[in-house]
Amino acid sequence: MLLPRSRAVHLHVYHHHPRISRSPSRPLAVAVRCSDTMPKAPRVYFAVRVGREPGIYETWEECRKQVVRYPHAVFKKLKTLDAATAWVNECDTPDPMESDIEPADSLSQTMASVSPSSLTKASHSSSTIAPTPVTRPSNPPLSATAGPSKPTGFSSSTAFEDVVYTDGACSRNGQAGSVAGVGVWWGPNDPRNISERCPGSPQTNNRAELIAIIRALQTAPTSPIPLVIKTDSKYAMKCIDKWLPLWRKNNFRTSEGRPVKNSELIMYADALTSMRKKAGQEVRFEHVAGHAGEPGNEGADKLAVSGCELREVSTPNWGELRLQLEKKMRKKKTAVIVKPKVETVDASMFADMILDKEQLLAELEES
């Protein structure tokens, strides 16, 4: 259970899913009251920053009730009450990724709304989709690189997972004057949602699809919870999941001997995925049908279309980002997820303790 009133950590928060609001001028208020009969503190504490009831819990089972199947839950296991309190107060959004590069100011802009346009997601359909106004917070910098958070001590579980949708959009795809945008969708009005202009050239739908996946990998918190990235781009999925090993053997040349398009993006996305796997997080890519009414895909599409309205941005050095990430991976040890050991017990050792009905009644009467 949540720590009892005599020693509870009271979190004065405003529930505004999925983030915990607080005054920008001071940290989240936390008060601790201790009684004279306060029992011995547990060896660990389970802090829930985003969940059904944010707070600090004494057992994993109680913490689990707050986070399992709760969208985008944020929680952590810590050794002391002070550390748990500090972690809950640390920020009001999920932990950002580590960054080794100076942020690109061109990507930190915010957009209150966008006007309708003729921008469309490249597809076989000839329909025109006008983007609806989108309100979003400032996005994390494009140069942020995925760095694993400190191990939380939790085992990976299939009972819940972090799911994010990515999409790319492009007007005049494959033609002169094309403009592409990137969308990452976690949920309605989620502060982690991203709507950005696609950097670099050529401005194509495939390039935007890959960069959308990269942005999700860069900004999603690293944890033992499986990360599921859903995209309607079979091209982007196959680049990372299927074709990459063959291209590596061929020095990133196609069967016709031509250079593989977007190879620098594909290699960087693979490095980001490998970093998470080394930290003990499973990463899965799942294909979803585009424009089929799935809210996550529709949300990512709107963000991508809105991103096309933003001004042109500078191109990161993808190769340098990948090399820095690979260097970091070489220094880090692979996370080992320890499963609890299950021991069998010989029941015969308790045989002499088993009472028949008459013995049991006699002992109850004596007591």
Please report the domains of the chain, with CATH numbers, ordered by start residue.
5-90 (3.40.970.10), 105-331 (3.30.420.10)
CA 194 to mean position of chain CA atoms: 13
Exposure string (b/e) for 68-81, b if CB count within 10 Å is 16 or more? eebebbbbbbbeeb
Tell me what pLDDT residue 181 has. 96
Least confident window among 16-20, 141-145, 290-294, 357-361: 16-20
Choose from 109-118, 148-157, 222-231, 353-362 the range with maximum mean pLDDT: 222-231
Tell me what pLDDT residue 276 has. 92
Decide if pLDDT at 111 tops 80. no
Percent of the chain with pLDDT over 70: 59
Instruction: Please report which confidence band the pLDDT of residue 101 belongs to, taking 50, 70 and 90 as the band edges.
Output: very low
Instruction: Please report which confidence band the pLDDT of residue 241 belongs to, taking 50, 70 and 90 as the band edges.
Output: confident
Percent of the chain with pLDDT over 90: 33
Instruction: Please report which confidence band the pLDDT of residue 32 belongs to, taking 50, 70 and 90 as the band edges.
Output: very low
Decide if pLDDT at 346 tops 50. yes
Tell me what pLDDT residue 67 has. 82
Q: Bridge partners of 19?
A: 16
Mean pLDDT of the chain: 71
Instruction: Please report which confidence band the pLDDT of residue 300 belongs to, taking 50, 70 and 90 as the band edges.
Output: very high
3-state secondary structure labels for all residues of the chain: CECCHHHCEEECCEEECCEEECCCCCCCCEEECCCCCCCCCCCCEEEEEECCCCEEECCHHHHHHHHCCCCCCEEEEECCHHHHHHHHHHCCCCCCCCCCCCCCHHHCCCCCCCCCCCCCCCCCCCCCCCCCCCCCCCCCCCCCCCCCCCCCCCCCCCCCCEEEEEEEEEECCCCCCCEEEEEEECCCCCCCCEEEECCCCCCCHHHHHHHHHHHHHHHCCCCCCCEEEEECCHHHHHHHHHHHHHHHHCCCECCCCCECCCHHHHHHHHHHHHHHHHCCCCEEEEECCCCCCCHHHHHHHHHHHHHCCCCCCCCCCHHHHHHHHHHHHHHCCCCCCCCCCCCCCCHHHHHHHCCCHHHHHHHHHHC
* Nearest Cα residue to 170 out of 120, 211, 131: 120
Decide if pLDDT at 13 tops 50. no
Instruction: Please report which confidence band the pLDDT of residue 227 belongs to, taking 50, 70 and 90 as the band edges.
Output: very high
Instruction: Please report which confidence band the pLDDT of residue 104 belongs to, taking 50, 70 and 90 as the band edges.
Output: very low
**What whole-number distance in Å separates Cα of residue 33 and Cα of residue 286?**
47
- Locus of tokens 């008060």: 31
Tell me what pLDDT residue 270 has. 94
- Locus of tokens 């509870």: 8
Tell me what pLDDT residue 2 has. 57
Tell me what pLDDT residue 52 has. 83
Which pTM was predicted? 0.55
Tell me what pLDDT residue 85 has. 86
Decide if pLDDT at 15 tops 90. no
What's the whole-number mean pLDDT along residues 149-163?
Answer: 48
Least confident window among 64-73, 219-228, 329-338: 329-338
Least confident window among 43-52, 157-166, 278-287, 352-361: 352-361
Decide if pLDDT at 287 tops 60. yes
